[in-house]
Amino acid sequence: MYVVLMYDIMTDEKGAKVHRNVFKISKRYLTHIQKSVFEGNLTELKLFKLKQELNQYIRKDKDSLIIFKSREERWLSKEFLGIEDDKTSNFF
């Protein structure tokens, strides 16, 4: 399934550590496309593991994480305004 993940981490005394961990975990599973936005294809099991790992760091009362899911990327229209940074253009 195609997944778009985005998050907002509150900038307080523990926020930097939370942000660092959420970023690292997200980058292991998905492609980083913009500051706090990731996308990619995952199996149900990989998505489950990703959510389990992120759940250890997201503070339910301060932080926000949203996951959009679609069967395939082709079912989602993507439009860029401004600079388009195509992270997949490096692949041959």
Q: Please name which of 36, 33, 47 lies closest in space to residue 3, comparing C-alpha atoms.
A: 47
pLDDT in tens, 12-43: 999 999 999 999 999 999 999 999 999 999 99
**Which residue type, as a one-letter code, is found at position 14?**
K
pTM over 0.75: yes
What's the chain's Rg over C-alpha atoms?
14
Mean pLDDT along residues 59-80: 85
Confidence (pLDDT) at 91: 41
pLDDT in tens, 49-67: 999 999 999 999 999 999 9
Cα torsion 66, 85, 40, 89 to 10°: value is 180
Kindly report the backbone phi and psi dihedral angles of residue 78, in degrees, each rounded to the nearest multiple of 5, phi listed first: -120, 125
**Which residue type, as a one-letter code, is found at position 9?**
I
| Total Cβ atoms within 10 A of residue 40 | 19
Determine whether the annotation assigns residue 8 to a binding site.
yes
